[in-house]
Structure 1
């Protein structure tokens, strides 16, 4: 990737970012689909239904990471393009702190109130033990979920989108093969799928963190001035993406509850497969926006309006083709 997005071909920049964004999103969707397929083969429809109960949790956790990552990285790129390194790194520091606080709250909530939350998401007396078994190893790494999205946003804006996608690829590949090995090879069932998922997301975080030890890393911790105002800015900038993402989790939760009330776990298992397949389509739209964001942010900071309009043109073309 060229380091300066205010120069060079917009088309080249955009489609490079689009490729890595789409690749990272696709891997996440595929390993979710593999989870459902493997658990369904081992546990039957009830296993697939249990994963459908858990699925909204990931969406909500990811949306919180998107809130802090997208909200902060927009300003990070804006300041970085203007040469204001301290202000840019203050945005990163604030996002890191905010994500840490959110992660701790989520960790406590999903550890202490797991029964209540799973019942809220639609679990009954039969599905609750299966969902808890799947969650057991994942509960140790709950903070990793918002951090994957936050770090991915900053790595993309730190001229390392390919590395962010590579980190997702590493975790996703381990999850896919780990599912097969733990579930069938070691006969661990749905617990094995949860274990593979936990190790996979930990591996993703470990690879992302290694970026901070590379020579290309420009992200640093910096003192944050006027923390309250900057937090409001962060939330405002990330709010639209956050709302659209968390809405999907809430809608899935409501569907889970209604399907369990009227149709039962077999129908929920079918719905779970449909949701995973629909995620493959959604990853296209997610990639379109993710590819445009760093280019628009950097060019906006130096008032290159024509380059912004050109980026928008390619985004609209891609979005139209997807539809």
Structure 2
């Protein structure tokens, strides 16, 4: 009954409500790392930024696993609810929670035993090693909080409570900023303090999300069941785009760090750290649009509402274009101000490299949102291959060969050109996939 009311009301308002709440949520999530970058830059210095940038790929992988399970399982949960199969939805949640527990054990063990070899493998050397190790080890010990927070946020949002998931993420973000300040400045805890604040934040978010289990309209719970590959496999496939979006940022970060280190040294890596952490906030907004359409698109697919799926895509794309244009203009007009917030020492070379990079890198935002929204839509309508191909291409499939080629031809400028070029190639494939999908769906009846 609730599903029919959701789909039959003022659907435009419903779409905008889900998107806006999830955009706010994802901006809050992105402030986790941005706050760390700001406080580390001003409390530890440029070496802290380099260490943070080196440790971030591992954090991206942990968060990627959380989104793989959360987005994948929640997508299949919404399809099951749309088909009227609530018990299957609870089994899907239970399977995802079991996988999350296994992943938590692995990441915690790795954090305790192998943090130093990992940061050395990622490129840390000299005085950067202890700083990067401290941040990575602390973060991995909180891996369970990140994974289960991602899982519950996705399920609560898909259980028609987007406002609760938004409240939880904002609670985590605001507490992280406050604790970052307290731990790094008054208490002088440095890199450990920044990582500790980041780890505590999702625990507070989980406290907010747990209230959903005490409400009578909760449609999922832990149930006794055996692992079923027939349910695990689809949820993993549906979560691949979210995992690739998150994890690929870590892979790209690692590769760019190594190339920039050879071209411009630690100053170049520090400049890239500023660029990529600002870009993470904008990327989070696009991910918020993609995640905002996911519950509705999955429900529409389960209920056979094909025309509403087209409407969802149209609104998602329109919002992505507006924000993409605003992001590019902000980079074009205010790159010095953006850089200054993370440049405690006022280094002129750091500022010059970062400003040049922002003006080129931010061209990607015209196309990035369109690709992310489309990949999310394909995952929601049981088209996992198209979703995965778009995510892999824009994530690292096009990025890796392009950065190697362009950096060899144009040096540091070629590095900044890589992401816009990769997004442009992905958009071409995206348009082909969409044309084929909607041409095929036009032949089907709509409810």
Q: Smaller-chain TM-score range? A: over 0.9
Residues in 2 aligned to 1:179 and 1:315: alpha-carbon distance in whole angstroms: 34
Match of 2:277 in 1: 276
**1:156 aligned partner:** 157
SS class of match (1:267): helix
**Conserved 8 A contact 1:156-1:164:** yes
* Structure 2: gaps of 5 or more residues: 325-447
SS in structure 2 at match of 1:106: helix
Name the counterpart of 2:238: 237
Residue 131 of structure 1 corresponds to which residue in structure 2? Answer: 132
Check conservation: 2:69, 2:96, Cα contact below 8 A.
yes
| Distance across 1 between alignment mates of 2:73 and 2:48 | 38
Name the structure 2 match of 1:90.
Answer: 91
Please report how far the alpha carbon of residue 88 of structure 1 lies from its aligned counterpart in structure 2 after TM superposition.
Answer: 1.1
Query: Where do residues 109-124 of structure 1 align in structure 2 (5 Å cutoff)?
Result: 109-124=110-125
Cα distance, 1:136 vs structure 2: 4.5
* Partner of residue 46, structure 1: 47
Q: Give the drift of 1:176.
A: 0.6
More divergent stretch after superposition (222-231 vs 267-276): 222-231
Length-normalised TM-score, structure 1: 0.93
Cα shift at 1:261: 4.3
**Per the alignment, in what secondary structure is the counterpart of residue 187 of structure 1?**
coil
Q: Out of 143-152 and 172-181, give the one that drifted further.
A: 143-152
Q: 1:124 and 1:214 mapped to 2: Cα distance?
A: 51
Aligned to 2:196: 195
Give the CA deviation at 1:244: 2.9
Aligned to 1:16: 17
Q: Partner of 1:214 in structure 2?
A: 215
Aligned equivalents of 2:151, 2:38: Cα separation in 1: 28
Q: 1:253 to 1:141 in 2, by over 3 A?
A: same
Count of residues in Structure 1 that have an aligned counterpart in Structure 2: 323
Residue 167 of structure 1 corresponds to which residue in structure 2? 168
Q: RMSD value over aligned CA atoms?
A: 2.0
Higher RCO (CA 8 Å, separation ≥ 6 residues): 1
1:5–1:298 contact (8 Å) kept in structure 2: no
Cα deviation per residue 1:84-103 (whole Å; 9 max; x = unaligned)? Answer: 11111111111111121122
- Contact 1:10–1:310 (CA<8 Å) still a contact in 2? no
Write out aligned runs for 1:17-36 (5 A).
Answer: 17-36=18-37
Q: Is 2:205 aligned against 1:182?
A: no
Under a length normalisation based on structure 2, what TM-score does the superposition of the two structures give? Answer: 0.68
1:314/1:110 Cα in 2 relative to 1: closer, same or farther (>3 Å)? Answer: same
Asked whether the equivalents of residues 50 and 273 of structure 2 are also in contact (C-alpha less than 8 Å), the reply is yes
Larger Rg, first or second structure (1 or 2): 2
Shift of 1:292: 0.9
Aligned equivalent of 2:78: 77
> 1:241/1:187 Cα in 2 relative to 1: closer, same or farther (>3 Å)?
closer
CA deviation profile, 1:3-29 (whole Å, cap 9, x unmatched): 843221221111111111111111122
Single out whichever of 206-215 and 79-88 deviates more from structure 2.
Answer: 206-215
Cα displacement (A) at 1:190:
2.1
- Whether the 8 Å CA contact 1:158–1:218 is kept in 2: the answer is yes
Q: How far apart are the structure 1 equivalents of 2:51 and 2:182?
A: 20
Deviation at 1:284, TM superposition (A): 2.2
Whole-Å separation in 1 of the counterparts to 2:113 and 2:262: 26
Specify the SS of the correspondent of 1:186: coil
